[in-house]
Amino acid sequence: MSGPAQTTHGAPLDRAALWARVRAAEPFDLVVVGGGATGCGLALDAAARGFSVALFEAEDFAKGTSSRATKLLHGGVRYLAQGDVGLVREALHERAAVLHNAPHLASRLPFVMPSYHWWERGFYGMGLKAYDLLAGSRSLGDTEFLSAGRTKTLLPNVRAQGLAGGVRYWDAQFDDARLAVALARTAAAHGAVVLNHAPVTGLLREQGLVRGVTVRGPDGDVHVLARCVVNATGIWVDALRDMDRDVDTPHRPPLVAPSQGVHLVVDRGFWPGDHALLVPKTRDDRVLFAVPWLGKTLLGTTDTPRDRVQHDPLPLRAEVDFILDESARYLSRPPGRDDVRSVWVGMRPLVKPQAEDGGDTKALSREHTVLVGRSGLVTVTGGKWTTYRAMAEDVLTRCMARGLLPPRPGGATAGLPLVGAQATHRTLVVPPGAHLYGAEAQTLQALPGADRWLWRDPESDAPVLSEAMVRFAARHELAASVEDVLARRSRLLFLDARAAAGLADDVAAILAEELGDDVDAAASSAAFRTLAQGYATLP
């Protein structure tokens, strides 16, 4: 990894100018379809190597799975138990890279595993000691064996009855949606065209090979030529692969089997303190988390196979009951259904690796898969947020090996600061509520409405959303709707869905001032209130 990150700022992004570049450009080296963790990371890596890049996202950056993670950057303790040392080592390396490149969006976080049986502390503690050893110089803190009294001190609301002790170890957490936006903006700063609300409607082929895409633009379809096209659409990869079918492959089996994970958000009072809870084995062999996040507490998660993918999946009653019931086993004051501020669901793209006739599949790890079809369409899916950067390098390595892109050295993103990264040699004064903006906090504060707070957390009185943040989202972060602002530029929908719904009209009015006729304020507000109802309602 290179030296300290320098302070970086992102220029305003103008949607009309980006579309003008798309229409005027010569064929791009690379078109990326999908603006989640993988797609944005890939666009940045390719642009940093000097390739000409265009990224198209049908909805918004991180609209799907990439905004609905458990907010953890981790090395994968469970993989260590499975003996996959290489995968854990890679993830720990990548965890350090994210913390280095985006210190305003990611930070270390202490976890405690409470022990209620005499053997648990030693059993799990030794595994976590091995985790420390694999991290080496990238370790975030030493694993410690805790007494029952110390465990209770660090976890004030943990159930004391039967508590035998615990183990403390260190991982990290982050703001997933804002990290995706930062990746996209940093790619743009390196010359990439990045566009959300730009659905790809078809593939362009020449002599049987994919040579570009058709994108729905503001004034109709646009044909975009490219040397290489990568399908990075997450749980929707099979829909784009279906566009690539021909008479030789009429019955291509699906690559992804979706599974959903549910998360509940409750007030911080149910989990006070700065330590996260990890229960490694619940009654049905799942994992339970209670994580402090942006002034609230995140509880989760589940792993339920689903037979179809959805943009806004809903939780099952059994999933909500599982999280609440398991939480009640470990929290002395557990939340009930009426205490849930927001419930949200992420769909994981579980990969079924396979080979196509005339193509080949490269399973680069258990976590993600890269497939190159006979048409040259590259598909990447699976993986987790922590290793997005390594996934991007794997994809480009595969593209170059197949001759779809000319060889160029990698490693450009290993120490590349993202927009907003703060130089480590000086301290920036960041106003309250603006810490996620890092070095751009001063730009934010210069906008109208910097002192007008639209919402403060009533539990802590912490400032969460200002008028200036809405303007910043429109000017710098390509936010085009109320949902873009309240779900992903701000995380209020995920923190308190009813509060977010109550701000829809205010946010829409500010967006109308910023974007003019490019936004239908009334429709955008109404659509968001409907969405928020799903986050506010338990099954």
In CATH, 15-65+178-255+352-401 is 3.50.50.60: yes
Percent over 70 (pLDDT), the chain: 93
Mean per-residue pLDDT for 198-205? 97
Q: What is the rounded CA–CA span in Å between residue 501 and residue 491?
A: 12
Global pTM reads 0.95
Indicate the DSSP class of residue 329: H
Mean per-residue pLDDT for 15-19? 97
Is 90 exceeded by the pLDDT of residue 465?
yes
How confident is the model at residue 363, as a pLDDT? 37
How confident is the model at residue 426, as a pLDDT? 57
Is 70 exceeded by the pLDDT of residue 353?
no
Least confident of 197-211, 247-261, 307-321: 247-261
Percent over 90 (pLDDT), the chain: 80
How confident is the model at residue 14, as a pLDDT? 95
CATH architecture classification, 105-173+258-348? 2-Layer Sandwich (3.30)
Query: Pick the residue with more confidence: 430 or 437?
Result: 437
Question: Domain ranges in the chain?
Answer: 15-65+178-255+352-401, 105-173+258-348, 435-536
How confident is the model at residue 368, as a pLDDT? 85
Q: What is the rounded CA–CA span in Å between residue 200 and residue 413?
A: 27
375-412 burial, b at 16+ Cβ within 10 Å, e below that, comes to bbbbbbbbbbbbbbbbbbbbbbbbbbeeebbeeeebeb
Q: Distance between alpha carbon 315 and the CA centroid of its chain, in Å?
A: 19
Is 90 exceeded by the pLDDT of residue 352?
no
Q: For domain 435-536, give the fold.
A: Helicase, Ruva Protein; domain 3 (1.10.8)
| Of the ranges 117-131, 144-158, 303-317, the best mean pLDDT one | 144-158
Q: What is the rounded CA–CA span in Å between residue 400 and residue 386?
A: 24
